[in-house]
A and B are shown apart, each in its own frame.
Chain A
Amino acid sequence: MTLNDAQRAAVERTGQDVCVVAGPGSGKTRVLIERFRWLVQAQKIHPRRILTITFTDKAATEIKQRLLEAFAEAEPLRQEMERAWVSTIHGFCTRLLKENAIEAGVDPDFHLLDEAGAEILRHQAAEAALDDLLAMRPDLMPVLLKDLATGASDLEQALLDLYEEARTAGRGAADLRTPAQPVSDCWPEILEIARVALTDPATGTVRQREAHHEFHRWAGRVLALPSDAGRRERLLLLDDLPRPSSLKNTTRARTLAQQLKDSLIPACQAALILLTRLDLYPLCLEALHRIHDEYTHAKRDRGALDFNDLEEFAIRLLESDRALRERIRNSFDHILMDELQDTNRLQWRLLDLIRRPDRLFAVGDVNQSIYFFRHADPAVFHEYRDSVAGRGGVIDELRENYRSRAEILEAVNAMVPSLLDGLEPHRLTALGEHAKKMAPSLEFFHSYAAAGGDDPVRTEACWIARRIREMEATMLIGKAGERRPARFSDFAVLTRTIASLEPIQRALDEFGVPSVISGGRTFFEAREIRDLVAWLAVLANPRDEISLVTVLRSPLVGAPDETLLRLKRAGGEMFAAIAAETGDERLVWFHRLVRQQRAQAGTASPDALLSQALDESAYMDGLPARARANVARLLDLARQRHASAPCTLGELVDDLASWRNASSEQEAAAGELSNCVRLMSVHAAKGLEFPIVFLASLRSGGSNKPPVFCFSPDGTLGALWRHPETGIGVSDPTHMQVWALKKRHDLGEECRLLYVAMTRAEEHLVFTASPNRSLDWASRINDGLNLPSGFPRQEAHTVMHIPAGASIAVTHSRVPPASDFPATVFSDDGVVEYIDPLPTPGQHETVVAVTSVAQFAFCPRQYYLARYLGWENRGQATRSPIPPRTDPGEFSASEFGILVHDLLAGKPRPDATPEALALAERFQSSDLGQRAARATRSGREYDFLIEVEDLVLRGQIDLWFEDGGQIALVDYKSDQVEPGHERQHAVRYEPQLRLYALALERLIGRIPERAVLWYLRTGAAVDVPLGQASLERTRTEVGSLREAQQTMHFPLREGVHCVRCSYYGGACPASLTFSAAAPKSSS
Chain B
Amino acid sequence: MLLFTTTSGVALDPLRAFRDDVRSGREDSCLLMPTATMAEHIRHLLARQGALVRPDSVVTLSRFIEPYVRATPQASPAALHYLVARRLEKDPPEVFRPLAHSPGLRRMIASLIEEADAAGCSTRLLARRAASPAARAFQSVYRNVEEELQLRSLLLGSERLRIAASRIHAVGHPWRRIYLAGFFSLSPAELEVVDALRPADRFLSLPEWLGAEDTRRRLPGLGFTEQRVVENRPQPVTILIRAANEQEEAEEIARRIAALVQRGASFRDIGVVVRREHPYTPLLGSTFGRFGIPARFYFQRPLAAHPLARYYSNVLDALESGWDWERLLAVIAAPYSGLGATVEGDTLDHNLRTRIPGHGLPRELDALCAIEHWPAARFLPAQWVEEFGQLRNLVRLPAITDGVSHQQALSWRELASAVEAWDRAVSDAAALLDPETPATLSEFRHLLCALLDHTHTGLRDQRRNVVHVLDAYEARQWSLPILFVCGLIERVFPPYHSEHPILGDAERERLRDDGVLLRTSAERQREEEFLFETVTSRASELLALTYAAAGSKGDRLLPSFFLSRLERSLGIRPEPAVPCRPRPLWPKSPPRAARITDRSLLAYLEQARSTLSPTAIESFLQCPFQFFGRYILELESPPQPPSERLNLLLQGDILHRTLAEAESSPLSVGEIFARLFTQACRERAIPQDCRTEKARLELQANLRRFLDAAPLTGVMTRGVEHSFDLRLAPGLRLRGKIDRIVELPQRGLVVIDYKYTTPEKIRSRIRAHLQGELVQGGLYLWAAKQLYQADAAGVLYCGLRGEVSWGGWHLPSFGWQQIGDSVEAEGLRDMMDRAVQASLNAAARIGSGEIAPAPADRTKCGWCEFRDLCRVESTPAGVTIAAGGSSS
Contacts and interface: CB of A to CB of B under 8 A. Distances in A.
Contacts of A154: 691, 694
Interface in B265-321: 266-268, 278-279, 282-283, 285-287, 289-294, 305, 307, 310
A14 to B, nearest CB: 30
Contact of B558 (A65, A98, A530, A878): A65
A61 B556 contact: yes
Interface string A170-213: 00000000000000000000000000000000000000000000
Interface in B588-645: 588-592, 594-598, 601, 604, 628-629, 632-638, 641, 643
B571 interface: no
B269 to A, nearest CB: 11
B886 interface: yes
Contact of B638 (A537, A560, A573): A537
The interface centre, meaning the residue of A543, A1049, A1067 with most chain B CB atoms within 10 A of its CB, is A543
Nearest to B422: A881
Nearest to B560: A82
A70 interface: no
Contacts of A877: 392-393, 395-397
B583 A836 contact: yes
Contact of A105 (B99, B584, B691, B866): B99
B443 interface: no
Contact of B401 (A558, A565, A611, A1082): A1082
Interface string A663-706: 01010111110000000011110000000000000000100000
B298 to A, nearest CB: 14
Nearest to B632: A565
Contacts of B582: 615-616, 834-835, 837
A62 B55 CA distance: 55
Nearest to A372: B884
A546 B635 contact: yes
Interface stretch (B164-172, B413-421, B433-441, B835-843): B413-421
B586 A586 contact: yes
Contacts of B490: 82
Contacts of B857: none
B502 interface: yes
A349 to B, nearest CB: 22
B77 to A, nearest CB: 15
Interface in A942-966: 943-947, 950, 952, 954
A877 B336 CA distance: 11
B845 to A, nearest CB: 15
B465 A569 contact: no
Interface string B232-245: 00000000000011
A648 B598 CA distance: 41
Nearest to A101: B501
Contacts of A454: none
Contact of B268 (A564, A842, A864, A946): A842
The interface centre, meaning the residue of A556, A670, A834, A843 with most chain B CB atoms within 10 A of its CB, is A843
Nearest to B687: A131
B745 interface: no
A347 interface: no
B114 interface: no
B875 A664 contact: no
A882 B389 contact: yes
A561 B404 contact: no
Interface stretch (B210-218, B326-334, B661-669): B326-334
B584 A842 contact: no
B875 A869 contact: no
B579 interface: yes
A668 B552 contact: yes
A612 B883 CA distance: 36
Contacts, number: 513
A151 to B, nearest CB: 9
Interface string B845-888: 00000010000000000000110110101111001111111111
Interface residues of A, number: 194
Contacts of B416: 869-872, 874
A216 interface: no
Nearest to B886: A497
B881 A108 contact: no
Given A131-B690, A142-B697, A840-B267, A945 B43 contact: yes
Contact of A881 (B343, B423, B875): B423
A617 B292 contact: no
Contact of B564 (A68, A373, A556, A836): A68
B53 A946 contact: yes
B124 interface: no
A331 B69 CA distance: 49
A151 B167 CA distance: 79
Interface stretch (B102-110, B749-757, B805-813): B102-110
A1050 B402 contact: yes
Contact of A586 (B293, B583, B589): B589
A621 interface: yes
Contact of B592 (A560, A633, A670, A672): A560
The interface centre, meaning the residue of A496, A633, A833, A861 with most chain B CB atoms within 10 A of its CB, is A833
B245 A632 contact: yes
B258 interface: yes
A838 B257 CA distance: 10
A451 B52 CA distance: 97
Contact of B865 (A546, A564, A605): A546
Interface residues of B, number: 179
B881 A499 contact: yes
Given A550-B869, A561-B594, A599-B335, A646 B310 contact: yes
A958 to B, nearest CB: 16
A421 interface: no
A601 B882 contact: no
Contacts of B788: none
Given A145-B690, A603-B307, A1048-B409, A845 B463 contact: yes
Nearest to B386: A882
A635 B499 contact: no
Interface stretch (B79-87, B145-153, B344-352, B719-727): B344-352
Nearest to B342: A598
A835 B258 contact: yes
B633 A568 contact: yes
Contact of B881 (A681, A842, A1083): A681
Contacts of B283: 636, 639
Nearest to B259: A835
A727 interface: yes
Given A564-B633, A880-B392, A99 B592 contact: no
Nearest to B41: A846
A155 B695 CA distance: 12
Given A562-B596, A616-B585, A1082 B99 contact: no
Given A633-B552, A952-B44, A615 B290 contact: yes
Contacts of A618: 584, 586-589
B51 interface: yes
Contact of A636 (B43, B291, B552, B564): B552
Contact of B402 (A142, A643, A1049): A1049
Interface string A1049-1080: 11100000000000000010100000000000
A68 B564 CA distance: 10
A805 B501 CA distance: 64
A771 to B, nearest CB: 18
B379 interface: no
A605 B282 contact: yes
A670 B554 contact: yes
A568 B502 CA distance: 64
B886 A541 contact: no
B134 interface: yes
5 contacts: A498-B883, A546-B635, A611-B286, A835-B582, A947-B50
Given A618-B587, A835-B582, 5 more contacts: A620-B581, A636-B279, A669-B550, A835-B581, A878-B393
Q: Which 5 A-B pairs have the closest CB atoms?
A: A558-B589, A669-B554, A842-B465, A109-B104, A602-B335
